Every structure is written in C-alpha cells, then in structure tokens.
Amino acid sequence: MIRNTLLTVTEVGLPVDEKLYIRKNRIESENGSNGRRISIVTGIHGDELEGQYVCWQVQQRIAAHPECLLGTVDIYPAMNPFGIESVSRGIPAFDLDMNRIFPGSEDGDMNEYIASRIVHDLEGSTLAIDIHASNIYLTEIPQIRINEMSAERLVPIAQKANVDFIWVHGASTVLEATLAYSLNSRGTDTLVVEMGVGMRITKEYGDQLTDGIFNLMKELNIWSGETAPVRKPIISSDPDEVEFLNAPAAGVFVKTLSHGAMLKKGDEIGLIIDPLSGKTLYPVLSPCNGWLFTVREYPIVDQGSLMARILKREIGGQPQ
C-alpha cells in the first residue's frame, strides 16, 4: 500500500484574513522509502496546463501498482496557484513572471519569499522535473531544454525521459533566475520539459512524458514495475542548427503542416491570408530542409511573429 501525505511547502498571509498556500502531495510506500526522491513540478506559469494531466496520470499509475513504489514521489501541481485560477501566465496583480525570481530570498517580498521556500523544499531531490507548456501562440514537440553548463550531467538523464528532442542551449540564453537553473546550480538535477500549447492539455504528450517519468523512476530505483519502451530523442547543441521563421506580414495564419513534419526547402508550412480582401498575402515556406519542431498555433499574426522553428538536419523519419 502507499501513503499520500498533503504537505504545505509554504504559506503567506493575504488581506482579509486569507492565506496563500503552496502544497505538494508526497507519495511513499507504507513500508517506507529507500531515500530516493523524484519531484514533479508544474504550474509555475498559470496558463501552462499540460503538466496538470501528468501529475494526475503519475498518481493513477502508482495507485494501480503500489507494491512497485520503492522511493518517494513528490507532486507539486500548482507553484503559481493564483495564476492557474485566473488563467494568467504570471502572478496576478504583480505582473510578474514567477520563473524569473528564483532562487528568491527569505528576507525579500512575498513572491521572493515563496520562491526561496520552493527551492528549499525541492533541494535534495534525486531528480526534479519542471514541466512547462508553450504559450497560446505556439505548439511544441515534447522536448527537454538544457543549459550547456549542465549538459554533460543532464543529457544522459534526459535521453531516458521519452521526449522527441533535447535542445542544449548556450549559457547566455538560459536565464539564471529560473527554478531549474537555481536547482541545478545547487546540485539538484533538474530537467525542464516543454510540450504542447498554452491553455490546453494534449493527452498524447502527457501519456508520452508519463511513460518517460516511470522509466526515469526505474533507473533511479524509485520504481520496480514494468515500464514502456522509450523513444530515442534527437539531440541538438549547435545554435546554428535551429532556423527561426518569422511572419513577413500581418494577417491570419492557416496552418498546412503540423509540428513534427519532415521538410524540404520550399515546402509550404501554411498561408498568411487577408479575410477582408480574400487574398493570400504570403505563403509561409520552409527556407531549408529539416524537422519542424515548433509551429504557430494562434492564427492572428503580426509582422515578425514567430511562425516556426526548424532543426536544419537531415533526419530519416520521426524520432523512435
């Protein structure tokens, strides 16, 4: 059998005798834990909901086979509860991106204090997985993004997470004020997952990542049960491999291809149209051969809006 314990990570007082709580669900075997702990984190951005399904699915699978749980699983579904409740990316009223205030400060304002308590609570995890979605404008293939300074340590772990793509970023492109950077710099291995689209849940991606989480749990001796085979991801650490495609004009974007498509130079990704005149303003064409791993989801575009990201590499089919 398993034991579920709802714990308060931190609480702060609010006006009118209210309190803000950050909570987690700790799942352990009733026979005790072997000292290994995986932490599943999501909800830092209130409009990114893909991780909500993963939190539920992980707990469902553990409940179905409680005898297989060897270590501890901590579930943090709502790091920014006000953002989730108000469907806001940042912290409402403060107009603040929560993932730009870590590691926070015990002596800082309310938000800095909350951030510091979150980092303190997550420190010491054997592995933390910080789940994000894209915004409402773009759809992302399931991927893990890694700071190049942590790549040697984290890429081998990320390869077991059942994602399609591992994108190693240069240090200058990774903000030091993120949760993942703060934890990794303190010695707590943390993977950042990006997948799907804002304000939606893509069940197939959630299932895919959940398979990967259980594979990682087995590798870490937290889970002894059966796990699904994981796919071999594409790995890119060369910034020149990624082509950013921007809209040449404002209009309405009608998508032709979905992300994950293999492209040839000149392939049509979509059209920018003008509903008033009935004209096609521009075809959005691939400037290179490659793999479409990000594509525009929200139809209204301005000149310069990001339309797609393409990995400029010849790939013989989808990741396996």
Domain boundaries, the chain: 2-235, 240-311
Using DSSP's 3-state secondary structure scheme, residue 315 falls into: coil
- List, for residues 17-48, the tens digit of each pLDDT value: 889 999 999 999 988 899 999 999 999 999 99
Position 97 scores a pLDDT of 94
- The full 3-state SS of 9-66, as one line of letters, equals EEEEEECCCEEEEEEEEEEEECCCCCCCEEEEEECCCCCCCHHHHHHHHHHHHHHHCH
| Topology match between the domains 2-235 and 240-311 | no
What are the b/e assignments for 155-194, b being 16+ CB within 10 Å?
A: bebbbbbbbbbbbbbeeeebeeebbbbbbbeeebbbbbbb
Q: Does domain 240-311 have CATH number 2.60.40.420?
A: no
Mean pLDDT of the chain: 94
- List, for residues 257-268, the tens digit of each pLDDT value: 998 999 999 999
- List, for residues 309-320, the tens digit of each pLDDT value: 999 998 764 444
Segment 206-220 shows an average pLDDT of: 98
Residue 134 has pLDDT above 50, yes or no: yes
How many Cα neighbours within 13 Å face the side chain of 108?
14
> What six digits make up the tokens of 219?
């590798």
- Please give the model's pTM, rounded to 2 decimal places: 0.96
Position 27 scores a pLDDT of 98
Pick from 288, 282, 289: which is nearest to 256 by CA? 282
> Could you tell me which residues are beta bridge partners of residue 242?
311
Q: Does domain 2-235 have CATH number 3.40.50.12780?
A: no
Position 319 scores a pLDDT of 43
Residue 213 has pLDDT above 60, yes or no: yes
> Could you tell me which residues are beta bridge partners of residue 289?
none
Position 31 scores a pLDDT of 85
Position 320 scores a pLDDT of 40
